Amino acid sequence: MTEQLPAAHGALGANFNQNLDALDYRELRESGTRWVRGFYPMPATDQGDPAGHFAISTITEAGSRGYDTILSLKWPYNAASFPQPGSAAMAAELARLDRVLPTVLNKVDILAIGNEPFIESLPAERDERLNVFYETVARHVIDHRREHCGTNCRTTLYMGALNRLDLADRRTPAAERWMAFVRETPEIQGVDIHPHIPAPENAQAFLDFILPRMRPDQTYLVTEFSLVWYWKRHLQDPVSGEFAERYGFAPGTKVWEVIKAAIDEPFSRKQWNDFLTGSPWFMEQAGFLRSQLALYRGTGRLAVATYGFKQDDLMVGNFGPNKDPWLLNSVFVPYTAKSPGNGTSAPNYWLKDFKALQRS
């Protein structure tokens, strides 16, 4: 028996990644969203009761307040080999799951098994070893949900998430096996994708890969998406002459230098908006949110998409010409523009479209 489609089919929500402790309900209300997403790093289970970890406590509180919620479980194996089934290390991972799952099952709406497996792993092990590990933990989650949450369990399961499927070398045998497991496991509702891309049209490759490899009843998540690689190509462009003259920057000042100045001393909301709207490279992509949601919703298979909601300290630390400029994606910009004065963060250019794209 397969799962039902999520009630908020085609919704747009707020993604916080590792920063669920930055959630502000006033900002959520201003944006109009009903969906909240973040991730929980599984090693944190060794540091105390997972129910007390800010990621889980925040996401479950949001659920208790009536928000719909997505939690991704993150296994960072960038610096260590995947444990083998039957090993003591795998037993330890499954024991962590047994501590985490009671705190989230029937409390979050969607649980994504994995965050970015093909990034959070050793490059040499992005093969069947990755598949075996994630299939093992997924079956454990499925069994635990069946035994402890019952047939009417609120929590739907997805496998997450696939990256850079617009690049041929990422459409590997391991990615094929990932999709085969998604398709052949009745308890899995679908797959999560993270289209961080250099151009809007690159998102189509993600859909072309996943949709033919899913059951007709399955849906997909897009819990992260952005133009970060497009923004990065423009960090060393000169800022517009009009902006430079108006705000006292030397002619030829680079885009990254203006962003760094905003981090060092946040701009007024108008100055930050003038910086973005006065940049041709930014305005060429001003319709990104609208076009991407139209693409995803047009498939009839999108469950929920969540978009980067708020700048965090990792985005602004040591900012320079080679920094990945995630901060340009955010719906709210606490680090590059001054607060309106009520304790909330300044809204970014994207807020208007984010609000307009909400649907119940």
pLDDT above 60: residue 1: no
144, HSE (Cβ side, Cα atoms, 13 Å): 23
Question: Is residue 299 in some structural domain?
Answer: yes
Q: At what angle do helices 88-104 and 54-64 cross, to 10 degrees?
A: 30
pLDDT in tens, 91-108: 999 999 999 999 999 999
pLDDT above 90: residue 147: yes
Supply 72's token pair.
């991704």
Supply 237's token pair.
């462009």
CATH number, position 106: 3.20.20.80
Number of domains in the chain: 1
pLDDT for the residue 8: 64
Tell me which amino acid residue 22 is. Answer: A
pLDDT for the residue 288: 98
Question: Is residue 124 in some structural domain?
Answer: yes
User: 7 falls in which pLDDT band (50, 70, 90)?
Assistant: low
Question: Is residue 331 in some structural domain?
Answer: no
DSSP category for residue 2: P
Number of other residues whose CB lies within 10 A of the CB of residue 95: 12
pLDDT for the residue 4: 46
pLDDT above 60: residue 232: yes
pLDDT above 60: residue 337: yes
Stated as kind and residue range, the H or E segment containing 178 is: helix 173-184
Question: Is residue 274 in some structural domain?
Answer: no
pLDDT above 90: residue 359: no
For residues 333-346, give the mean pLDDT: 95
pLDDT for the residue 9: 87
Question: Is residue 191 in some structural domain?
Answer: yes
Question: Is residue 326 in some structural domain?
Answer: no
For residues 340-359, give the mean pLDDT: 94
pLDDT in tens, 50-96: 999 999 999 999 999 999 999 999 999 999 999 999 999 999 999 99
pLDDT for the residue 6: 54
Average pLDDT, the chain: 96
User: 360 falls in which pLDDT band (50, 70, 90)?
Assistant: very low
User: 311 falls in which pLDDT band (50, 70, 90)?
Assistant: very high
**Residue 76 belongs to domain spanning:** 11-229+287-313+350-356
Q: Cite the DSSP H helix spans in 185-265.
A: 203-210, 228-233, 241-247, 255-264
pLDDT in tens, 158-203: 999 999 999 999 999 999 999 999 999 999 999 999 999 999 999 9
pLDDT for the residue 140: 98
User: 243 falls in which pLDDT band (50, 70, 90)?
Assistant: very high
DSSP category for residue 43: G
For residues 12-24, give the mean pLDDT: 97
Of 130-139, 148-157, 163-172, 260-269, the least confident: 148-157
Question: Is residue 96 in some structural domain?
Answer: yes
% of the chain with per-residue pLDDT over 90: 95
262, HSE (Cβ side, Cα atoms, 13 Å): 30
Number of other residues whose CB lies within 10 A of the CB of residue 255: 22
Question: Is residue 71 in some structural domain?
Answer: yes
User: 259 falls in which pLDDT band (50, 70, 90)?
Assistant: very high
Query: Which residues are bridge partners to 162 per DSSP?
Result: 193
